[in-house]
Amino acid sequence: MSDRPHPFLIVVAGLVYLFLMLPLVIVVGAALSDTTYLTFPPQGLSLRWFENIFEISAFRRTIVTSLQIAFLGTMIALLIGIPAAYALNRFRIELPKWLGTLFVLPILVPEIVFGFALLKSFTVGTGAPIFLSLLIGHTLIVLPYVVRVISASLASFDFSVEEAAISLGSAPVKTFFTIVLPNIRAGVIAAFILAFITSLNDVSVSLFLTGPGISTLPIQILAHVEQFFDPTVASVSVLLMFLTVAVMAVVERTLGLTFLAK
Amino acid sequence: MTQPLDLQAVSAHYGTTKVLEDLSLSVQAGELVSLLGASGCGKTTTLRLIAGFLRPTTGSIQLGGRDLTRLPPHKRDIGLVFQNYALFPHLSVLDNVAFGLKQRGLGSSERRKRAMAMLERVGLSALADRAPGALSGGQKQRVALARALVIEPPLLMFDEPLSNLDAKLRVDMRVEIRQLQRSNGTTSVYVTHDQEEAFSISDRVAIMSAGRLMQFDKPEILYRRPANTFVARFVGFENIIPLKVIAREGDVVTAETAGVTLRLSQAVYGAIPDTFLLATRPDGLVVSTDPAAEGLPARLGLRTYLGRAYQYQCETAAGPLIANGSLTAPLEAGTGVKLVPMPEQCTILASEGAR
């Protein structure tokens, strides 16, 4: 083994990075174009398509809706997913194996089928408001990620630590908050980010559940592209990218991102 | 502060599997009792029942007259030391030790004072601000010990506390544990699979197998006078010879096995029943080349070197036996010898039906 990587390895790594980065460069370039149509390389430099996002009320509204749905859906999924993951790990021997698999089902079923089923059975069946249907749909599609990520975190947690705390006089529920939760904090944050981003990006399920007056950002982007071919879509994408980077930067500063790679 | 522990006819099940059967065990105040046995014998189940992490199907558990049977684990006031230390990874060493005091509502300065004093006793006061992850195995177990002792529990329990430590440290730590336990006078239950460890630090040892208590006594008695073949084999009585009495003259009993007779004195062995087992360690059978010696005729097989003696695999009419011979005169395989039982190293067991 030599200290310097093989030149071939450097070339391959470079190509992979290029492959990953190029679409982003093109989107950013297209977003900055002064033209009224999507083009790359950009012709002229302008931020007017970024202003345009906020001038179109549908974008303003759907950004807010998307953020609300993503945040609320993720929080509900955490409220259900943390206790579920805890129980699945704590009582791994006592509980039947299929119970854990149950929580993965929503991502095993094709999302488009899942969305359609939810529309037929819930929205049409009960006449529930659109926002509520969207919220429930998103909660269900992010729940598997939450349970999985937090389970991974709990798998390396030694439950005798919990028993030690209980034996020292700490009541079980209190022990969960003072001992278990602080030790799976990284997993909870990772689950939050993953769920939030998954919800924010979802198209298939939202496609069925959005309705008159209420839509999510990805659906609005689709609708916009169907009618217009201006760079607004590119600038919305850039905005989303920067939002994601900002979230990651905050997490990196406060916690470090290494836990995501675990 | 120290209290007796009393288990009355305790049984436990995992689902439909019976893991503990009718266990009765009394630990006196201030006594250290070990639960000893192979994995799956029920020793850890017993500890978890006492701690309250498992509920018994039947029976009762009393600590100093307090009935623990239905009490949730966090109200039992028992100090626990775990095999894998189970320190709180997100708390400093000092906060780990102070945790139990906090649950008891002590103010922060008092907590700090007592936790520091306890760390002082286990020789770790210099590491009070460290994170548990930065400690060695031995240091971690000392912190765990301090954390369990600082709440001054009426009962202290250890679950294989030394299994994760290396051999040298294990011996040092068990002496340390015994000294702390003695000076505090805390009633203690110690779970281990290591016979030497159990025998060396315990006042009494409970040997368990398949969810049952096999024998509960002082180490000296378990070692010399096992009550049944299980315990006999467990403590190293590798030779168990079934015998039948054919004649009795006063104290002397003549017994027979596979055509060979042995004469045993009831003055040495105590009352000998009509059919019995003679149990001995390899040390208890003397290899004699004297044809006139009174013993079991045997043919020597493989010889191994033990340092203090040579050990021989022997073929006899009563089956294969293991005997130790002197270092000064090694014998070759195939030699015909007599194996002479040494009364002070043999014990008589009742025969146990079909074994």
Closest-CA residue of chain A to B14? A94
pLDDT in tens, A115-173: 888 888 888 888 788 899 899 999 999 999 999 999 999 998 999 999 999 999 999 99
Q: Are B230 and B62 in contact (CB under 8 A)?
A: no
User: Is B355 within the bounds of a domain?
Assistant: no
Question: Do B40 and B166 belong to one domain?
Answer: yes
User: Is A116 within the bounds of a domain?
Assistant: yes
HSE (side-chain half, CA atoms, 13 Å) at B308: 4
Question: Do B257 and B301 belong to one domain?
Answer: yes
For residue A2, name the pLDDT band (cuts at 50, 70, 90): low
Would the pLDDT of A182 be above 60? Answer: yes
User: Is B183 within the bounds of a domain?
Assistant: yes
Quick check: helix, strand or coil at residue B155? Answer: strand
A59 or B159: whose pLDDT is higher? B159
For the segment B260-273, the average pLDDT, to the nearest whole number, is: 87
Would the pLDDT of B114 be above 90? Answer: yes
Does the distance separating the beta carbons of A171 and B87 come in below 8 Å?
no
User: Is A33 within the bounds of a domain?
Assistant: no
Do the interacting molecules here have an ipTM over 0.90?
no
User: Is A134 within the bounds of a domain?
Assistant: yes
Looking at residue A117, which CATH number applies to its domain? Answer: 1.10.3720.10
**Separation between Cα atoms, residue B104 and residue B152, nearest integer Å:** 11
Does the distance separating the beta carbons of A160 and B84 come in below 8 Å?
yes
Split into its structural domains, chain B has a count of 2
Does the distance separating the beta carbons of B78 and A167 come in below 8 Å?
yes
Nearest CB to B86 within list A161, A170, A172: A161
Model pLDDT, residue A252: 75
User: Is B280 within the bounds of a domain?
Assistant: yes
Does the distance separating the beta carbons of A169 and B147 come in below 8 Å?
no
For the segment B174-195, the average pLDDT, to the nearest whole number, is: 93
User: Is A41 within the bounds of a domain?
Assistant: no
For residue A33, name the pLDDT band (cuts at 50, 70, 90): confident
Question: Do B240 and B139 belong to one domain?
Answer: no
A96 touches chain B (CB under 8 A): no
Question: Do B199 and B240 belong to one domain?
Answer: no
Question: Do B48 and B184 belong to one domain?
Answer: yes
Does the distance separating the beta carbons of B84 and A169 come in below 8 Å?
no
A183 touches chain B (CB under 8 A): yes
* Residue A110, domain extent: 56-261
Closest-CA residue of chain B to A160? B86
Would the pLDDT of A79 be above 90? Answer: yes
Question: Do B71 and B13 belong to one domain?
Answer: yes
For the segment B181-198, the average pLDDT, to the nearest whole number, is: 94
Question: Do B273 and B183 belong to one domain?
Answer: no
For the segment A243-250, the average pLDDT, to the nearest whole number, is: 79
Looking at residue B24, which CATH number applies to its domain? Answer: 3.40.50.300
Chain A residue numbers touching B144 (CB-CB < 8 A): 164
Would the pLDDT of B80 be above 90? Answer: yes
pLDDT in tens, B287-306: 998 888 888 899 999 999 99
**Separation between Cα atoms, residue A203 and residue A210, nearest integer Å:** 10
User: Is A119 within the bounds of a domain?
Assistant: yes
Closest-CA residue of chain B to A182? B90
Model pLDDT, residue A204: 87
**Separation between Cα atoms, residue A146 and residue A142, nearest integer Å:** 6
Does the distance separating the beta carbons of B74 and A167 come in below 8 Å?
yes
**Separation between Cα atoms, residue B96 and residue B78, nearest integer Å:** 16
Would the pLDDT of A190 be above 90? Answer: no
For residue B97, name the pLDDT band (cuts at 50, 70, 90): very high
pLDDT in tens, B306-329: 998 999 999 998 889 999 988 888
Question: Do B37 and B172 belong to one domain?
Answer: yes
**Separation between Cα atoms, residue A158 and residue B105, nearest integer Å:** 26
* Residue B123, domain extent: 5-233
B78 touches chain A (CB under 8 A): yes
Q: Give me Rg for the CA atoms of chain B.
A: 25
Measure in Å the smallest separation between the Cα of B87 and chain A Cα atoms: 6
Q: Are B119 and B98 in contact (CB under 8 A)?
A: no
Measure in Å the smallest separation between the Cα of A260 and chain B Cα atoms: 19
Would the pLDDT of A257 be above 80? Answer: no
Q: What is the 3-state secondary structure (H, E, C) of B264-296?
A: EEHHHHCCCCCEEEEEECHHHEEEECCCCCCCE
Q: Are A196 and A35 in contact (CB under 8 A)?
A: no
Which of B215, B233, B251 terminates a domain? The answer is B233
* Residue A254 exposed, middle or buried by CB count within 10 Å (0-12, 13-18, 19+): exposed
Chain B residue numbers touching A163 (CB-CB < 8 A): 51, 53, 73, 80, 82, 86
Question: Do B11 and B139 belong to one domain?
Answer: yes
Chain A residue numbers touching B86 (CB-CB < 8 A): 158, 160-161, 163-164
Least confident of A114-118, A160-164, A248-252, B185-189: A248-252
Residue A222 CB neighbour total at 10 angstroms: 15
Question: Do B282 and B185 belong to one domain?
Answer: no
Which of B214, B233, B252 terminates a domain? The answer is B233
Would the pLDDT of A261 be above 50? Answer: no
Size of interface A-B (CB pairs under 8 A): 60
Does the distance separating the beta carbons of A169 and B100 come in below 8 Å?
yes
Looking at residue B310, which CATH number applies to its domain? Answer: 2.40.50.140
Question: Do B306 and B245 belong to one domain?
Answer: yes
A90 touches chain B (CB under 8 A): no
Model pLDDT, residue A249: 81
Write down the mean pLDDT value for chain B: 92
**Separation between Cα atoms, residue B323 and residue B309, nearest integer Å:** 10
Model pLDDT, residue A258: 56
User: Is A181 within the bounds of a domain?
Assistant: yes
Model pLDDT, residue B146: 94
User: Is A38 within the bounds of a domain?
Assistant: no
Chain A from 154 to 173: CB within 8 A of any B CB: 158, 160-161, 163-172
User: Is A192 within the bounds of a domain?
Assistant: yes
**Separation between Cα atoms, residue B289 and residue A76, nearest integer Å:** 84
Question: Do B203 and B228 belong to one domain?
Answer: yes
Split into its structural domains, chain A has a count of 1
Q: How far apart are the first and last CA of chain B?
A: 47
Which of B179, B214, B233 terminates a domain? The answer is B233
Would the pLDDT of B276 be above 60? Answer: yes
